[in-house]
Structure 1
Amino acid sequence: MSMLVFDFDGVLHDSRERAWRCYQDARTQMELWALPDLAGPGDLPLVYQGVLSESLTRWVGFEVAERFWQRHAELTARAAADEPHGVIPELVGPLAALATGPGYAVVTGSHHATVRALLTRDLPQEAMPQILLSRDQPGGKSDKLRDLRTRYGATVYVGDTGSDIRHARAAGLTPVAVAYGYASREDLTAAGPDQLLDTPADLAAWCRTRLTGHRAGAPAPSRAT
């Protein structure tokens, strides 16, 4: 089994409530009244459609949208300290098992320190991802995924938006999507993942199936440092 790669927000960590609150705060602070006023986290799929960098250009220009997402990332990083949970409980065990076997990586649009702090709430050091790439490292998500495929043999990226699916395909990885994150099921289906998992329990079972196949096959590859 090759190294698996996961998105963080919406896949390993449920940050939808925080993302919604910070979206509303950024919209108010920047006075971007052209952006939709979201009533709650359930409305997030309205703005998490297609390619994320272009998802707001239905209402504002591209440069304004980029500044908005930068501000949104700053606000969500600050608010992370108030999150009641880190890793979604059903996924703690599978991640620990992956870490001691083939290893896993996280590629995220959030800040490195924020993601690491949330991971360490529930995972001991030996269960942490071998590689964590965030918005603080240069390059886009496709570039980071392509590098993981080239250097470490990564084959699958698990994401929660149509944008994640497109980045995975652009990097030559197999896209797997979860339906409990930020995007609507319709947007995910339109992007065409190889597999669509409904719940965290489904993702946990999928990981265990992958691990079972790995243990029955060849020895684990060397872990990345």
Structure 2
Amino acid sequence: MAMLVFDFDGVLHDSRERAWRCYRQARTEMELGALPDLAGPGDLPLVYRGVLSASLTRWVDFEVAERFCKRHAELTARAAADEPHGLLPELIGPLAGLAAGPGYAVVTGSHHTTVRTLLARDLTEKAMPRILLSRDEPGSKTDRLRDLRTRYGAGAYVGDTGSDVRHAHAAGLSAIAVAYGYASREDLAAAGPDRILATPADLAAWCRAHTGARGVAPAPAPSRAT
């Protein structure tokens, strides 16, 4: 069984509400009225077409878009502590099954500490990803995925944007897209993924099929006592 690799936000964790709030905050702080005024998380596909910074160049120049993305990442990292949830509940058991079998990795554009903290809300140490690569490590997403394929035999990358699909194919991996994340189904389809999964339950079933498990019970969550 080949190792699977996952994006985090929009795939394993639903951060759309937080991303929308921080988008609006950064837009106001930077006085970027040229950017769309998104009414709610459901409008995120309007700006998440591939790489966010490149998508924003439809309204602002690249340098401004890069500054906006950096500020947006800072705000979303700070706001993560107030997230009411960690992983999508349907995926806790399948991830534990993968950890006990071929292992899995996470390659994300979010900060390492943020992602690990949110994962640890619902996973035991044994169920955590074998490898976690974030925006804090050097190299492009394609480089990281190619390295995971070469060194660990990774076979597929699961993402939620057209950019994720293109990075997977560029690295020689199968591209699995989920339609419940940041991008529209149309954007995903245009990128040419090998498969599109509609819901977290569909992704959970696909993961279980990968491990050959009919049903993996969720691992007990770590204690959250304060």
Question: TM-score w.r.t. structure 1 length?
Answer: 0.93
Letter of the 1:64 counterpart:
V
Partner residue, 1:97:
97
SS at match of 1:55: helix
- Could you tell me which residue of structure 2 aligns to residue 68 of structure 1? 68
The Cα shift of 1:63 comes to 1.2
Q: Which amino acid aligns with 2:66?
A: E
Q: Which residue of 2 aligns with 1:203?
A: 203
Deviation string for 1:76-125 (max 9, x for gaps)? Answer: 00000111110100000000000010000000000000000000000000
* CA distance in 2: counterparts of 1:72 and 1:147, whole angstroms: 28
Instruction: For residue 139 of structure 1, report the CA deviation from its aligned partner.
Output: 0.8
**By how many angstroms is 1:174 displaced?**
0.6
CA 1:158–1:141 in 2, change beyond 3 Å: closer, same or farther? same
Structure 2 match to 1:220: none
Q: Residue 216 of structure 2 corresponds to which residue in structure 1?
A: none
Corresponding residue for 1:29? 29
Indicate the percent of aligned positions where both proteins have the same amino acid: 80
Q: Which residue number in structure 1 is paired with residue 115 of structure 2?
A: 115
How far the C-alpha of 1:51 sits from its partner, in A, is 3.4
Give the deviation of 1:182 after TM superposition: 0.3
How many Å separate the matches in 2 of 1:42 and 1:129?
A: 29
Q: Distance in 2 between matches of 1:33 and 1:22?
A: 15
Return the letter of the residue paired with 1:147: D
Specify the SS of the correspondent of 1:106.
strand
Letter in 1 for 2:85: H
The answer to whether the 8 Å contact 2:10/2:180 transfers is: yes
Instruction: Determine the structure 1 residue equivalent to 2:124.
Output: 124
Q: Secondary structure at the match of 1:80?
A: helix
Alignment of 1:74-223 (within 5 A): 74-212=74-212
1:148 and 1:17 map into 2 onto residues whose CA distance is: 31
- Whole-angstrom distance in 2 between the partners of 1:51 and 1:119: 24
1:50 CA drift (Å) = 2.8
Gaps of 5+ in 2: 214-226
2:44 corresponding residue in structure 1: 44
The Cα shift of 1:160 comes to 0.2
> Aligned letter for 2:185?
R
Using the alignment, how far apart are the partners of 1:147 and 1:26 within structure 2?
Answer: 34
Which whole-Å deviations, capped at 9, do the CAs of 1:38-86 have from their partners, x for residues lacking one? 0000000000003333110000111111111111010000000111110
Q: Given residue 75 of structure 2, which amino acid in structure 1 is its aligned partner?
A: L
Instruction: List 4+ stretches of structure 1 deviating above 2 A.
Output: 50-53
Cα contact 1:52–1:163 (8 A) shared by 2: no
How big is the alpha-carbon RMSD for the aligned residues of Structure 1 and Structure 2? Answer: 0.9
Secondary structure, aligned partner of 2:143: helix
Contact in 2 for aligned 1:107/1:144 (Cα 8 Å): yes
TM-superposed CA distance for 1:140, in Å, is: 1.1
Kindly provide the amino acid, as one letter, of the partner of residue 165 in structure 2.
I
SS in 1 for 2:70: helix
Of stretches 10-19 and 62-71 in structure 1, the one that deviates more from structure 2 is 62-71
Cα distance between partner residues in 1 of 2:59 and 2:172: 32
Q: Is the 8 A contact 2:18 2:76 kept in 1?
A: yes
Q: Any conservation in 2 of the 1:159–1:175 contact (CA below 8 Å)?
A: yes
Distance 2:118 2:24 in 1: 23
Distance 2:53 2:174 in 1: 21
